[in-house]
Structure 1
Amino acid sequence: MGAAVSNAQLSLREWQREALDRWIAADRCAIVEAVTGTGKTTLGLAAAADALGRGVRVLVIVPGVDLVEQWYHAARRTLGTVRIGRRGHLHSDRFGDVDVLITTVQSAYRDNFEIPDGPTMCIADEVHRYGSDSFSRALRTSFSERLGLTATLERSDGGVEEKLLPFFGVAITGCDFRRARADGIIAPVRVMTVPVQFSAMEYSKYRQIESTLSSERWKLISEYGCRDEPFGLFLQDVQDLAKDGDYRASRSAGAYLHAFSARRELLASSQAKLKVLHNLGSVLTGAGRTLVFSETKTSAQTAADALATAGVYAESVSSSNTSDERARLLRRFSDGHVTALAAPKILDEGIDVPEADVGIIVAASSSRRQMIQRIGRIIRPKPDGRAASFIVLYIQGTIEDPARGAHESFLEQLTEIADQTLDVPAGDAVGQLANWLGQSMSEVESARAMPRVQALTAVIAGQDVVDPVRTGIVSDCMLAGGLHADLATFDLLLSCMSILSAQQIEVLLLRFGIDGGPTHSVREAAKALGLAPRAVVRIEDEALGRLENQDVLPILDRLSRIDEPDEELGLSPLKMPTRIQ
């Protein structure tokens, strides 16, 4: 076994030291609850260092391949020269070759998964996931030491009481939001709730769905034996009936599940919410990163589209994306090329999401655990100490209305640490967010007039875009250079473009015909490069913007004003284009 780093060498927060001591005092068998963003992984690595220092091997169980990679790289940075392996997806390391093995639960619960003969510590990350009949098989009695980690020890079935606590023994409160705020671990928080109304047609549909849910629920409980409470067990029974019940029971269960999904989609995609989201986009174009939380893939995409039509570079991410596609989107989000991500449950846990300044909840989950995960994505401390801003959109008079008790425990935890909590009419939400983010309304109005707003609106509506995404000196010079430049001017244009990325150059060459070929519309360029049209708009806008803010701008400005040969530069005059109005 390699040399493991000692706990004395690890930099632990006060709550982490306290939780580690309490776990050791509980015979190294306990679950520690700590809200997202406060350092559960570091606590787990400290426990691993403790075990390795005593000659105990460590198995880390995680719910997905993304977390395998996160734990692996964190362990490599933290645990010294010990041998660390991975199991799951493309990796097949075994304990015979490593001291620490990080594996997906999908591998760990199999009967043929090999466990070393000697003392072994099990760290179960996102431990609430392992309360099911299948995944709980990964929690073997042969593990001599056990640490469960979770933001919220909560399940809608009886898995916590029946599977998890009997295995781990006790639950320890490590760090809740109040403690995190008091210790300065999380950012200051501001909360804005924004009520909206259904349209008449949406309300009529909502009432029909509610009627179906009520009648089918009564039938499923009274006639087909579904458990009434808790709701998670009722839903589990309904799903079982839908698959294995007799014809009438299966039909009733199917009707309930269909109505349940339809209500969720209706609440998340209401036109009033999308209108508020679109209006907020005029502020978000000048903000940092934004996360939008919804409940379905469709509503996440419509939310991203609503922001994009306001000029925000927004994308949706869901389980439909491959792991490579998700990683690529998260990198673009991290480096600022994408400034808003809309997602259903996939961002709730298990994925390392870059910090964001604004969180918008378009559809709130009924799960307190999921909502707490969402809070943690936004409240990470900001380098300059700025606050995290939350906006919760809800439809009045429905199951998501706080006045009717919706999300009471979630909102209570959020508001108790908030510096400011406001219930704001939809018409005032833009002004309030602008005020929070230090923007003037004139800046907001300028954002609404950006040329890229029209371009993004067009491509999302399925239309094409011919004119440049930005107007001004650079785009005029590029277009004129492509159509009329001689060789010397063409070389100079390429020299100016050398500050751009290869992809940005490719887009400009096609869009402006700088290489002597024809100009291409956005859709034509997208097809030629294998990109989405909105990606071409973004890349072109970023490229032109970069040229406007670099040392090359004076040269481009001079080129754009040449109406006779320039002997100093050795250039022929450029004939500037007539812009389509």
Structure 2
Amino acid sequence: MSRRHREATNVADATLTFEEGTVRVESDADLPHAETDARSKTQRAPGFRYAALREALDRRGIDYEDSVLDAPDLPDVVSTYELREYQRDALAAWDDAGRRGVLELPTGSGKTVIGLKAIEELQTATLVVVPTIDLLEQWRGELESEFGVPVGQLGGGEQTVEAITVSTYDSAYLRADELGDRFGLAVFDEVHHLGGEGYRDIARLLAAPARMGLTATFERPDGAHEVVAQLVGERVYAIDPDELAGDHLAPYDIKRLEVELTPAERERYEEANEVFTDYLATSNIRMQSGSDYRELVKRSGSDPRAREALLAKQRAREVMMNSEGKVEALESVLADHRDDRVIVFTAHNDLVYRLSERFLLPAITHQTGAAERREILGRFRDGDYSRIVTSNVLDEGVDVPDANVAVVLSGSGSEREFTQRLGRILRPTEDDRPALLYEVVSAETAEERVAERRR
């Protein structure tokens, strides 16, 4: 993927240059994806169209000079990892797709290793983009350990650029213009984040012709994965956890535990739910999609009844997600798994702290400082702690030590969230214990439908 320069006998028929996140083409040919700039009498296209423009010139047999990439030299890098069969298949599928596309593999299946092998294969300057500081540190440590070269870092209090650089999405967004021509390969970890409105500009402004997206769950409920496919490439490989369970991931089972609301909880739930459903019956809102919920929120700004319905929905949700029956179910699960490593997931911080106090569980939420979180996870990894409780802060982007039991007390209807929580217990353990996920659901509530939807 080194920079190519085509020269005709005299003067090239076209010239490609890079400026402020766009590729400028000096050519009389009418090229796809490009718009004519009347001022400069050239054609321009967003950086991510660079590879497509070169392909169009090649197809038409047009000689061109290409000075788009200004990538620093990359020392020869070699990874000691040996790819498993499914990892080789994933990398081959990406190669066959023109070295563009998204790879969807379960948490714990070694997506990072595939990215390392892509860098080794292409031997080109590479930008790795990640959503969190934890992943930033993990990728940098892995790259430095494997390749033995300096690795740049954008984020976490450091701003250095090397031939191989790891950046948070936030830092890459802020510096996308200046980074646009520096890399031949861009690797987007947890690539579904790229569907966010602002983050899209990272991929749009980068000229990197080779692009790899890594994720355990590509599709987004808002449909923004279609935008990601335009910027990075289509999903070219996917494998289900069931296909790896027992060989490369721990065999697993999922058990649903239904608990009853107490009489007092049932009364509060039904009362709040009735306020909500009564409003829906007269408002022409069916709550069948995210847009319906957004319409309710919009109306709540000016309609008192809509606001009361929204608040009532929240009250009902809190009752069913934080019921006393769930706490009792957790007590039973913890008693049954005294010798296992257990992660308890909830949707609300309040329940995290309630459970932490009742069962003396180390707690991790968004309010937990980075140093304290590292200490808790470190002790969990070393075996000092055998169980922790958390809200959705550990769903992704954090290196969570091996566990073999997960308890989902509450969550959203998101398939992504469920898949990520399951993935936290799928890494094989030294004693080959199977993984077990408990899904605790309040009976005869909307939570039953939520649980079915995320399945």
TM-score, normalised relative to structure 1: 0.62
Deviation at 1:347, TM superposition (A): 0.9
Aligned residue for 1:389, secondary structure, equals strand
Provide the residue aligned with 1:26 in structure 2: 97
- The 3 A distance-change label for structure 1 pair 123 and 205 is same
Distance in 2, matches of 1:165 and 1:219, equals 40
Distance in 2, matches of 1:239 and 1:209, equals 17
Contact 1:220 1:238 in 2 (8 A): no
Corresponding letter in the other structure for 2:134: D
Deviation at 1:288, TM superposition (A): 2.8
Distance in 2, matches of 1:204 and 1:229, equals 23
Provide the residue aligned with 1:317 in structure 2: 364
Contact 1:38 1:175 in 2 (8 A): no
Contact 2:259 2:442 in 1 (8 A): yes
Larger strand share, 1 or 2? 2
Distance in 2, matches of 1:107 and 1:135, equals 10
Distance in 2, matches of 1:85 and 1:101, equals 4
Distance in 2, matches of 1:238 and 1:60, equals 39
- The 3 A distance-change label for structure 1 pair 168 and 215 is farther
Provide the residue aligned with 1:158 in structure 2: 223
Deviation at 1:296, TM superposition (A): 0.7
Please, which of 415, 432, 436 is the counterpart of residue 385 of structure 1? 432
Aligned residue for 2:365, secondary structure, equals coil
Provide the residue aligned with 1:106 in structure 2: 170
Distance in 2, matches of 1:173 and 1:252, equals 48
Distance in 2, matches of 1:240 and 1:74, equals 46
Q: Is 1:192–2:250 an aligned residue pair?
A: no
Query: 1:142-541, aligned counterparts within 5 Å?
Result: 142-161=207-226, 163-181=227-245, 184-217=247-280, 231-239=289-297, 245=301, 247-248=302-303, 251=304, 254-284=307-337, 286-308=338-360, 314-401=361-448, 405-408=449-452, 410-411=454-455
Deviation at 1:28, TM superposition (A): 1.0
Aligned residue for 1:157, secondary structure, equals coil
- The 3 A distance-change label for structure 1 pair 259 and 144 is farther
Q: Show CA shifts across 1:421-471 (max 9, x none).
A: xxxxxxxxxxxxxxxxxxxxxxxxxxxxxxxxxxxxxxxxxxxxxxxxxxx
Contact 1:277 1:303 in 2 (8 A): no
Q: Show CA shifts across 1:244-303 (max 9, x none).
A: x5x32xx5564454334333322222111111222333334x313210011110112223
Deviation at 1:210, TM superposition (A): 1.9
Provide the residue aligned with 2:160 in structure 1: 93
Distance in 2, matches of 1:50 and 1:241, equals 54
Deviation at 1:399, TM superposition (A): 2.1
- The 3 A distance-change label for structure 1 pair 221 and 126 is farther
- Greater relative contact order (Cα 8 A, min sep 6): structure 1 or 2? 2
Provide the residue aligned with 2:85 in structure 1: 14
Distance in 2, matches of 1:29 and 1:112, equals 19
Distance in 1, matches of 2:352 and 2:279, equals 28
Aligned residue for 1:407, secondary structure, equals helix
Instruction: Please identify, of 56-65 and 232-241, the stretch whose mean Cα deviation from structure 2 is larger.
Output: 232-241
- The 3 A distance-change label for structure 1 pair 117 and 391 is closer
Provide the residue aligned with 1:483 in structure 2: none
- The 3 A distance-change label for structure 1 pair 186 and 201 is same
Distance in 2, matches of 1:111 and 1:254, equals 40
Corresponding letter in the other structure for 2:83: L
Deviation at 1:65, TM superposition (A): 1.0
Deviation at 1:338, TM superposition (A): 2.2
Instruction: Please identify, of 363-372 and 298-307, the stretch whose mean Cα deviation from structure 2 is larger.
Output: 298-307
Distance in 1, matches of 2:290 and 2:143, equals 36
Distance in 2, matches of 1:144 and 1:131, equals 19
Deviation at 1:64, TM superposition (A): 1.3
Deviation at 1:397, TM superposition (A): 1.2
Distance in 2, matches of 1:398 and 1:391, equals 18
Larger helix share, 1 or 2? 1
Distance in 1, matches of 2:294 and 2:352, equals 25
Distance in 1, matches of 2:248 and 2:425, equals 12
- The 3 A distance-change label for structure 1 pair 39 and 264 is farther
Distance in 2, matches of 1:219 and 1:90, equals 52
Aligned residue for 2:126, secondary structure, equals strand
Q: Show CA shifts across 1:478-497 (max 9, x none).
A: xxxxxxxxxxxxxxxxxxxx
Distance in 2, matches of 1:58 and 1:258, equals 48
Distance in 1, matches of 2:228 and 2:313, equals 29
Corresponding letter in the other structure for 1:277: L
Distance in 2, matches of 1:253 and 1:167, equals 39
Deviation at 1:73, TM superposition (A): 0.8
Aligned residue for 2:427, secondary structure, equals coil
Corresponding letter in the other structure for 1:72: R
Corresponding letter in the other structure for 2:291: L
Q: Show CA shifts across 1:139-179 (max 9, x none).
A: 12522111111111122212112x21221231123321122
Contact 1:275 1:306 in 2 (8 A): no
Contact 2:97 2:236 in 1 (8 A): no
- The 3 A distance-change label for structure 1 pair 395 and 385 is same
Provide the residue aligned with 1:555 in structure 2: none
Which 5+ residue runs of structure 1 have no aligned equivalent? Answer: 223-227, 309-313, 412-581
Corresponding letter in the other structure for 1:292: V
TM-score, normalised relative to structure 2: 0.78
Contact 1:364 1:400 in 2 (8 A): no
Q: Show CA shifts across 1:331-355 (max 9, x none).
A: 1211222221111111110011001
Distance in 2, matches of 1:150 and 1:280, equals 31
Q: Show CA shifts across 1:99-120 (max 9, x none).
A: 1111111111226652153552
Distance in 1, matches of 2:384 and 2:274, equals 45
- The 3 A distance-change label for structure 1 pair 241 and 70 is farther
Aligned residue for 1:178, secondary structure, equals helix
Distance in 2, matches of 1:219 and 1:137, equals 42
Provide the residue aligned with 1:66 in structure 2: 134
Distance in 2, matches of 1:252 and 1:122, equals 49
| Identity across matched positions, percent | 28
Distance in 2, matches of 1:319 and 1:146, equals 31
Contact 2:343 2:403 in 1 (8 A): yes
- The 3 A distance-change label for structure 1 pair 292 and 213 is same
- The 3 A distance-change label for structure 1 pair 105 and 328 is same
